[in-house]
Structures are given as structure tokens and as C-alpha cells.
Amino acid sequence: MAEDELTMPLRGRAARRRRSRAVLPRLAVGALGVALAVFAGWALVADDPYGGEPMIAVSADPSAPAEPERVATAGGSGGRVYQGPDRAAPAGHSRIVTIIDGSTGQRQEIKIAIPAEAPVKEALLETVRHGSVPRIGPDGMRPAQAYAQVADKAATPDTPRVAIIIAGLGIGSSTTEDAFAQMPAAVTFALTPYASDAAQLAARARAAGHEVLLQVPMEPADYPDNDPGPQTLQVALTPQQNVDHLHWAMSRFQGYVGLINHTGARFTVSEPSLSPILRETARRGLIYVEDGSVPRSVAGQIAGANNLPYARARVIVDAVPSRAGIDRALERLEQIARERGTAVAVSSALPVAIDRIARWIEDAKARGITVVPITAVAARANPN
């Protein structure tokens, strides 16, 4: 029987569709084969013994951070290497490190210096419910003495001395690293108890020659709208509660020479509130520093009554956070040091502040100004 002429075109189109579907798998297999051939050819000619695996670039600079910068590289080449801060690390032991060239596979062994560790003295610790806090040792050693750094021995007794404190470290990683990279050892670091790595930062600072202060959050005038953080010392709390909050802050890390207030416009003007805190500070062999933000603070009088080494910042370097404002503040700091013999300044770790302070320290040395750790001026500071 002859086929219906009306059905013939439809059957022809169906056959063509079947032939098209059969061709597609063959094209896919062919393309995959070409890709494999190209990859195999590249592997034969490329000089990459590690196959483009992730690499770790480690600096041989002993003052670089303990955590190397991780750099994922393709083909074993490229990537950034962290060189570390441009200043010498304290003397310590050494370690042999093997460095492998990611592009050639060549191995090289070099000796790097490891900064001397700065262990915490167990005899100067007491256990409270929050953990370990400082105390005066059985032999009478005070933490402020044990963790003090040596001031510049070349300075004469008549040399104007300046103590500079960089506060708020441990909150911003980049600003904290800027301070470690650019500040000389004589600059004092104040660490917040809220830093997740406060203990490591304190140990690192001390190993690099910095004295360390603990920033204690105290009630500001506009609390609770302005809340310094958990465990803030408050005028509404009992002395026992505030001392317990102080112990919490004290237990976050160790190795500090003393305390410095963080805010506190309401708390530091209240003698009934502040007195138990400073008595506890003196009882534990520490010093106390005011950041200069509260003109009516009664800390100086309380410190004198409790034989507590005390210092007060006369200059807040970055009160006007511009190059011109910071430079004017540093000029005022130098003038105070020449008039009084000593002066204390506080600054945050703003990049512009760190940069201007570093430049000023270098220039001030040539003008006869010596930068010293905070303990070198605390006992001599005039509370008035």
C-alpha cells in the first residue's frame, strides 16, 4: 500500500530530529577529549612541581606576626609576602626554617631569630572566681616592677621625659598591627579586655619591649546610651560589685604594669565609687593612669592617699584627628615636658595618629626629648 503523501513530510522531520540528538553526545565526548588533551599537554611542559596547590608565604623577619599570610597561588608563582615591621626584634633563640620555592621546588634552610618570650610570673598571680589576677608576690615583688621595661639609660636626670600611651589596642586588627609595626619599644600599649586575643597581644607587646596597661571600662556621663561594654564599673553598684567587675577585667590577660580608665566621666568623679577600685589597684602592686579625658576626676587625690603610683595624661594626641591637630598636640606635649620635666600623652591607634607620632618621636630625639615607658614617670608624676 502506498504511503499517504500527507504523512511523508512529517516522518522526514522526525528522522532529522533523531539524527540531531544522536550527534550531540558525540560532540560532547569530542570536546571533553580535546580538553583532556590540552590539560595533559600543559602538565608535561609546565614547571610546577606542586600543581598550583595553595601556598603559605612566610617571612624570615623575626618581628613578623606569628601567623603567616596565607596566599593561594595558581601555578606556584605570584602572591604577596608579608615582610613584617621594619624594626629589630628582641634577642632570643633561633630556629631553622625550610623555605620551598613554589615555582621550582628548590629548598633553602635559613636560621631566623625568635623573639625572647615574656612569661607571666606565677608567683604574682592570685586565683579569683573569674580567673587569675595580679598580686604582690611573697617576696614583696610588685607586678608594676616585675613587668616594667628599662628606660633609655643614655638620658640624664635633666632630660625631658615623655610617656606615650597607645590605647584601645585589640579591637581593630589593622590599627593594632600599625601600632606594633611603627611604635618603638618605649611606647606603652593599653589593651582592652574585650579583645579575643588579649593574652597573645599582651605577650607579644612585652616580648617586643612595650609596657602594657589594662584599660578598665568605667561609667561615662551618658551611660547607658554610651555603654563601654560588659562589666563596666558603675556608680550605682556596690563597692563589692565593682571590685568583682574589676577582677573580671584583670583576669582577661596578664603581664600589665597597671590600669588606665576607659571613659569614666561619671565614675571617676565619684570618690565613694572610685576609692575601692584604686585601693584594690594599690593592693595588687599596680600603677594607675588617667587618660586625661575627665578634668574633674578625683583619682589623683585617692592615689596619693593610698600610696598608689599615679600618672595623668596632659595631652590627648588625637583629640583633633587630623595631621595638623595631632602635630599641634605633640608640640604641646613637648612644651609640657620641658616645663615640668615629664609629660604623659594618650592616643588611639588611628593610622594618621600612629604615623605622626612615629615621625615626632624620631625628630624629638634629636631635640633632646626622651620617650620612656609609663612606669618611668608614674611615681614622679604630679597629680595636680
CATH code for the domain in which residue 225 is found: 3.20.20.370
Examine residue 38 and state whether it is found in any structural domain, yes or no: no
Examine residue 266 and state whether it is found in any structural domain, yes or no: yes
My answer on whether omega of the bond before 224 falls inside 30° of 0, hence cis, is: yes
| Statement to judge: residues 148 and 96 lie in one domain | no
| Statement to judge: residues 68 and 217 lie in one domain | no
pLDDT score of 63 more than 70: no
* Residue 144: domain span: 122-378
Helical (H) or strand (E) element with 14? helix 8-45
User: Cα(89)–Cα(109) distance, rounded to whole angstroms?
Assistant: 20
pLDDT score of 198 more than 80: yes
Q: Out of 64, 82, 116, pick the residue that ends a domain.
A: 116
Q: Using one digit for the tens of pLDDT, what is the confidence trace for 18-50?
A: 555 555 556 555 666 666 665 555 555 445 444
Cβ atoms of residues 217 and 249 within 8 Å: yes
- Range 225-229 average pLDDT: 95
Q: Out of 99, 116, 133, pick the residue that ends a domain.
A: 116
| Residues forming beta bridges with residue 95, ordered by sequence position | 112
Examine residue 222 and state whether it is found in any structural domain, yes or no: yes
* Exposure class string for 175-214: b at 16+ Cβ within 10 A, else e: bbebbbbbbbbbbbbbbbbbbeebeebbbbbbbbbbbbbb
| Statement to judge: residues 109 and 197 lie in one domain | no
Q: Out of 93, 116, 139, pick the residue that ends a domain.
A: 116
Examine residue 291 and state whether it is found in any structural domain, yes or no: yes
- Range 289-309 average pLDDT: 96
- Residue 276, C-alpha cell as written in the block: 575601692
> Which of residues 335 and 7 earns the better pLDDT score?
335
Q: Which residues contact 40 (CB under 8 A, 6 or more apart)?
A: none
- Range 277-287 average pLDDT: 98
Cβ atoms of residues 315 and 326 within 8 Å: no
pLDDT of residue 153: 73
pLDDT score of 93 more than 50: no
User: Cα(269)–Cα(154) distance, rounded to whole angstroms?
Assistant: 39
Q: Using one digit for the tens of pLDDT, what is the confidence trace for 122-162?
A: 999 999 999 999 999 999 999 999 999 988 776 777 899 99
pLDDT of residue 131: 97
Examine residue 19 and state whether it is found in any structural domain, yes or no: no
pLDDT of residue 107: 74
pLDDT of residue 105: 73
Burial class (CB in 10 A: 0-12, 13-18, 19+), 107: exposed
Q: Count how many domains the chain has.
A: 2
Q: Which long-range contacts (CB under 8 A, 24 or more apart) does 235-239 make?
A: 235/266, 235/267, 235/270, 235/273, 237/273, 239/272, 239/273, 239/276
